[in-house]
Chains A and B, each alone.
Chain A
Amino acid sequence: MSGPSSETARHTPLYDLHRELGGRLVPFAGYAMPVQYPSGIIAEHTHCRTAAGLFDVSHMGQGTLTAAKGDPAALLERLVPGDIVGLAPGRMRYTLLLNSNGGIEDDLMATRLAADRLYLVVNAATKDADFALIARVLGAEAKLERHDDKALLALQGPAAATVMGRLSPDATKLPFLGGGFCKLGGQDVFITRSGYTGEDGFEVSVKNAAAEALARLMLAQPEVKPIGLGARDSLRLEAGLCLYGHDIDTATTPIEAGLAWTIGKRRREAADFPAAAKILGELKTGAKRKRVGLKVDGRAPAREGAKITDASGKEIGKITSGGFGPSFGGPIALGYVAAESAAPGTSLFVSVRDKPVATVVAPLPFVPTRYYRGT
């Protein structure tokens, strides 16, 4: 049951701090990352839902995209279905890197820094491939500068704004999905009002050399505790958010994944993104399979890979991520099912250790999100 060696894994700038805090480090996307601290996943999860949690997400890929001339957003739109050109300076959007089959190469956040600059945050496991794809497709027209010299810290939870108000009052003026350059702990940082927990919160991009001091400053606030990857996963699952490589991947389309809302109105009309004909066709006629939320009876979690069957016993899909929702108070899962079985309230079964367990399609999110909507 002991974790595999993390000696060969890369370290984030907070590696020593994670060890000092008693974090259990596990290999994740090539990095040694804390899956939990001594208080455990449920306590960390609950703390983030009731106060504020600090997450090290420095393994994720950060970069700035500029264009040889003009707006880099117009270039990025060759790869994503979101309206990036329409982003005002200081605003950000969740979008998808698509392949020519309409599959999802990654999900990412794109923030417009200025008329001629975009800031991107992509997943850790896919960052090298993503940046290579962007460089290849955009060629000499664009320049992508990787920020391997920067760490990324997420402060999430209902008390995140109180904490940030104490440390960087300007940041609390940011709207949900807004970003700006701020001072925090004497450092120049870039802060966005975003996250992946379903709570209000911030992500702070900071020079590697200053990351530990900033993390210590935030952890010194009475509301803040460190949160590991385990609770990060249960928090995002309760919020109904997709985990790349599990709930979405190169074989899932945005429509199947329930991410049609990421396709901008202008983009639908122009049909100018990868596999637009296929994706817009699916949008019109409906995908054959759909990502759904599932509430699982009892207390045993149904995990990734578990088969989903209908009332007649026919296999209609698989769980793509599942676990125990501490705030929800029971086992929950995301998975894909045949479209005719995807309506909320549909009774299905999921195989838990070869036994069929009753489950019902549930609306997402499982736990209401509390993103900042202004005062």
Chain B
Amino acid sequence: MAEMRFTKEHEWVRDDGAGMVTVGITAYAQEQLGDVVFVDLPAVGKKLQQGSEAGTIESVKTAAELYAPVDGEVVETNARLKDEPALVNSSPTDDGWFVKLKSANKVQLATLMTAAQYKSYCDGLH
């Protein structure tokens, strides 16, 4: 599988090649949120800037924003999350992905945390 990078906001970004990336939230994030009951995703074609709001995640107990981890244009959103938002909990880094972006900013991507860096970041939060 392609390399994943991570943000301090607990998103993962997978480099799918050819300027394409897939974005979701991490296992740590879904665990903190608890049972996800609704996900609001951006429209296909929307151009996102790094750090801008890319969607909303509602769990039983709280709401959280999804932020664009890098600049890019939305080419696909995970349609399954409409009826099965719990995929975010059961499969956060696979079936529970949120959006795919094209023309993703490679320079920004390279500055995000590696898996090892993200693990120590999470360890430091406890």
Which A residues form the contact surface with B (CB < 8 A)?
Answer: 1-2, 35-36, 40-43, 230, 233-234, 298-301, 303, 323-324, 326, 331, 353
A residues near B86, Cβ cutoff 8 Å: 42
A41 with B61: CB separation less than 8 A: yes
A299-B85, A300-B58 given; A230·B38 CB < 8 A: no
Is the CB of B33 closer than 8 A to any CB of chain A?
yes
Q: Within 8 Å of chain A (Cβ to Cβ): is B120?
A: no
The listed residue with most B CB atoms (<10 A of its CB), out of A42, A233, A331, is A42
The distance in angstroms between the C-alpha atoms of A1 and B62, with both chains bound, is 10
Report whether B56 and A35 are in contact in the complex, using a CB–CB cutoff of 8 Å: no
Interface residues on B, range: 20 to 34
Contact assessment for B32 and A1 in the assembled complex, using a CB-CB cutoff below 8 Å: yes
Partner of A323, one of B32, B33, B56, B61: B61
Other-chain residue from B32, B37, B64 in contact with A301 (beta carbon distance below 8 A): B37
Complex A-B: 14 CB contacts under 8 Å: A1-B29, A1-B64, A2-B126, A36-B61, A40-B34, A40-B35, A40-B89, A41-B60, A41-B61, A298-B38, A299-B58, A299-B85, A301-B60, A324-B58
Cβ-defined contact, B38 with A300, below 8 A: yes
Are the CB atoms of B40 and A2 closer together than 8 Å? no
A42 touches B35 (CB 8 A): yes
* Nearest A residue (CB) for B82: A299
Question: Are A1 and B33 also in contact (CB < 8 A) when A230-B61, A300-B58, A326-B60 are?
Answer: yes
Contact yes or no, A234 B60, CB < 8 A:
yes
- Interface hits, B41-78 → A, CB 8 Å: 56, 58, 60-64
A303→B58 CA distance, assembly (Å): 10
Looking at A43, A233, A323, A331, which has the most chain B CB atoms within 10 Å of its CB?
Answer: A323
The reply to whether B38 and A299 contact each other, CB–CB distance below 8 Å, is yes
A120–B29 CA distance with the chains assembled, in angstroms: 41
Q: Within 8 Å CB of B34, what residues of A?
A: 36, 40-41, 230
Distance of A156 from chain B, by nearest CB (Å): 18
| CB <8 Å contact, B35 and A300 | no
- Bound complex: CA A298 to CA B89 (Å): 20
Instruction: Indicate if the CB atoms of B125 and A2 lie closer than 8 Å.
Output: yes
> Scoring B residues 84 to 116 as 1 if CB is less than 8 Å from chain A, else 0, what string do you get?
011001000000000000000000000000000
From B10, B35, B86, B125, name the one whose CB has the most chain A CB atoms within 10 angstroms.
B35
> By the criterion CB–CB under 8 Å, are B60 and A323 in contact?
yes
Q: Which residues on B sit within 8 Å (CB–CB) of A233? A: 61
Out of A230, A234, A303, A353, name the residue touching B56 (CB < 8 Å).
A353
Select from chain B the residue with minimum beta-carbon distance to A299: B38
Query: Would you call A2 and B60 a contact (CB within 8 A)?
Result: no
Q: Are B60 and A300 in contact (CB under 8 A)?
A: no
3 closest Cβ pairs, A-B complex:
A1-B32, A299-B38, A300-B38
A331 to B35, CA, bound (A): 13
Which residues of A are found within 8 Å of B58, using beta-carbon distances? 299-301, 324
Check if B29 sits within 8 Å of A300, measured CB to CB.
no
Is B64 within 8 A of A230, CB to CB?
no
| Distance in Å: Cβ of B48 to nearest Cβ of chain A | 18
Tell me, in angstroms, the Cα distance from A336 to B22 when the chains sit together: 43
A2 to B31, CA, bound (A): 10
B81 to nearest A CB, angstroms? 10
Q: How far is the CB of A28 from chain B (nearest CB, A)?
A: 12
B63 neighbours in A (Cβ, 8 Å): 301, 303, 353
**The residue from B38, B56, B60 contacting A42, defined by CB atoms under 8 A apart:** B60
CB distance from B39 to the nearest CB of A (A): 9
Given contacts A40-B35, A331-B37, 14 further A-B contacts (CB under 8 A): A1-B10, A1-B32, A1-B64, A41-B34, A42-B60, A230-B60, A230-B61, A303-B63, A324-B37, A324-B58, A326-B60, A331-B38, A353-B56, A353-B63
